[in-house]
């Protein structure tokens, strides 16, 4: 990955961690709690599924900048998608952040802005921070009240 790209990616992650989007509860929506004991990240993800489509998604919680930015960008990315599409996006995202570092940095048009997490694969301990909101989203899509842990 080029130095400029890396800096741009870090800027986007920093922006989302400082000013997370969709950082609010949706009390009526399906929700799940996620915990990453390795880092201490906690996230509650809310998903308002209507006719099989994610009408709204949000989260609350406290975590490191990677987990907060990941949750923020995830809630933006899944809005308007079907549950199956959201799950597919998670699989692609997971493949990106767990790729061998020498294979990162390629084009990922299908991931859009989520490609900024490509650098995470260089820090294996951070992979769980980035994937926690997604695991939690998956649990929320499958049914209310679930609690997931990355361990």
Q: Is 63 or 86 the residue whose CB approaches Zn ion more closely?
A: 63
Query: Scanning residues 70 to 129, which ones bind Zn ion (CB under 5 A)?
Result: 129
Shortest distance, position 59 Cβ to Zn ion, whole Å: 14
Q: How far is the C-alpha of 134 from the C-alpha of 42, rounded, in Å?
A: 12
The piece of 19-27, 38-46, 50-58, 134-142 that touches Zn ion (CB under 5 A) is: 38-46
Shortest distance, position 56 Cβ to Zn ion, whole Å: 25
| Total interface residues for Zn ion by CB under 5 A | 5
41 is a site residue for Zn ion (CB under 5 A): yes
Q: How far is the C-alpha of 119 from the C-alpha of 101, rounded, in Å?
A: 8
Shortest distance, position 79 Cβ to Zn ion, whole Å: 24
Q: How far is the C-alpha of 65 from the C-alpha of 129, rounded, in Å?
A: 9
3-state helix, strand, coil in the chain (%, to 5): 55, 20, 25
Q: Is 12 or 83 the residue whose CB approaches Zn ion more closely?
A: 12
Q: Return the structure tokens found at 36.
A: 């990453």
Question: Residue 9 contacts by C-beta under 8 Å, 6 or more apart in sequence?
Answer: 1, 115, 116, 117, 118, 119
56 is a site residue for Zn ion (CB under 5 A): no
39, 83, 99, 146: which one binds Zn ion (CB under 5 A): 39
Q: Is 30 or 36 the residue whose CB approaches Zn ion more closely?
A: 36
Question: Residue 134 contacts by C-beta under 8 Å, 6 or more apart in sequence?
Answer: 70, 74, 90, 93, 94
Interface with Zn ion by CB under 5 A: which residues?
39, 41, 64, 67, 129
């Amino acid at each position: 990955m080029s130095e400029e790209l890396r800096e741009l990616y870090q800027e986007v992650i920093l922006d989302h961690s400082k000013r997370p989007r969709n950082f609010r509860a949706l009390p009526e929506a399906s929700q799940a709690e996620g915990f990453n004991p390795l880092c201490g990240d906690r996230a509650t993800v809310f998903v308002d599924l209507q006719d099989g489509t994610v009408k709204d998604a949000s989260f609350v919680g406290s975590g490191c900048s990677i987990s907060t930015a990941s949750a923020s960008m995830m809630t933006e990315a899944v809005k308007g998608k079907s549950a199956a599409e959201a799950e597919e996006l998670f699989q692609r995202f997971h493949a990106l952040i767990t790729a061998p570092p020498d294979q990162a940095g390629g084009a990922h048009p299908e991931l859009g802005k989520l490609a900024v997490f490509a650098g995470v694969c260089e820090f294996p301990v951070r992979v769980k921070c980035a994937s926690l909101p997604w695991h939690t989203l998956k649990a929320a899509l499958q049914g209310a009240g679930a609690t997931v842990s990355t361990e």
